[in-house]
């Protein structure tokens, strides 16, 4: 595992905290999804994604974040906050319309002042099993389109290519 692109996570008093160190990408976004899926099934309603040490995010990573935000929006009291996002990451999220789904750098979060204590208790999360990477990337991009219609044009080629690849794999598996 590349130590410069890792996902750390933990819980503290009902607050889920995920930290991306290095680049958030299609490589490590399945870990983010797997961990948060387990947490949401366990009743988590408040999640912070910490981007303080995140050097950039690709569209798959942001689509994964959008999917998590959309799931949390359906939960009573569900909330996703983005902590310590620098200008570039904030702009990237905003450019894809994701600021409508999550609070980016909230001005007075409930966890203010506890960041260092929370961060020191996080542990690296690894892959939880086989992930169909093409399906994961397709789902993340489809989520971006679902989150904001203006993303349809941006990602139409990616979605078309991935859909063709998935259809091809499916037909190969049924032969």
Q: What is the pLDDT of residues 98-156, one digit of tens each?
A: 999 999 999 999 899 999 999 999 999 976 555 678 888 889 999 999 999 999 999 99
How far is Cα of residue 104 from the mean position of the Cα atoms in its chain? 13
Q: Residue 2 above 60 pLDDT? A: no
Least confident residue range of 78-82, 89-93, 131-135: 131-135
- The size of the chain, in residues, is 175
| Mean pLDDT, rounded, for 9-20 | 94
Say what the pLDDT of residue 175 is: 60
Say what the pLDDT of residue 76 is: 93
The answer for residues whose C-beta is within 8 angstroms of residue 64's C-beta and 6 or more apart is: 29, 30, 32, 33, 136, 140, 143
How far is Cα of residue 84 from the mean position of the Cα atoms in its chain? 15
Q: Residue 9 above 60 pLDDT? A: yes
Say what the pLDDT of residue 1 is: 43
Task: Tell me the β-bridge partners of 11.
Answer: 16
CA distances from 155 to 71, 95, 96, 101, 136 (A): 21, 13, 11, 19, 15
How far is Cα of residue 65 from the mean position of the Cα atoms in its chain? 3
| Mean pLDDT, rounded, for 24-30 | 94
**Spatial contact of 156 and 163, defined as CB atoms under 8 Å apart:** no
172 or 168, which is more confident?
A: 168
Q: Residue 43 above 80 pLDDT? A: yes
Say what the pLDDT of residue 40 is: 94
* Averaged pLDDT score across all residues of the chain: 90
Beta-strand runs (E) in the chain: 6-12, 15-24, 46-50, 54-57, 79-83, 103-104, 123-124
| Mean pLDDT, rounded, for 9-35 | 94
Helices and strands (H and E) in the chain: how many: 6, 7
What the chain holds in terms of domains, given with CATH numbers, is: 6-128 (3.30.750.24)
Task: Tell me the β-bridge partners of 23.
Answer: 56
Q: Residue 90 above 90 pLDDT? A: yes
Phi, psi of 112, deg, nearest 5: -55, 135
């Amino acid at each position: 595992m590349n130590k410069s692109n890792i996902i750390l996570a933990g819980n503290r008093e009902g607050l889920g905290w995920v930290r991306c160190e290095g680049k958030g990408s299609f490589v490590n976004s399945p870990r983010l999804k797997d961990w948060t899926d387990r947490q949401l099934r366990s009743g988590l309603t408040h999640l912070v994604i910490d981007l303080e040490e995140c050097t950039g995010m690709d569209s798959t990573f942001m689509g994964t974040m959008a999917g998590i935000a959309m799931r949390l929006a359906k939960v009573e009291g569900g909330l996703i906050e983005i902590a310590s996002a620098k200008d570039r990451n904030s702009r990237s999220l905003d450019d894809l319309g994701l600021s409508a789904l999550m609070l980016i750098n909230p001005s007075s979060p409930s966890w203010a002042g506890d960041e260092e204590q929370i961060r020191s208790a996080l542990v690296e999360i690894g892959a939880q099993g086989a992930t169909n990477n093409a399906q994961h990337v397709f789902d993340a991009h489809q989520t971006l389109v679902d989150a904001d219609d203006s993303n349809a044009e941006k990602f139409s080629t990616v979605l078309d290519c991935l859909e063709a690849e998935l259809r091809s794999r499916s037909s190969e598996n049924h032969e």
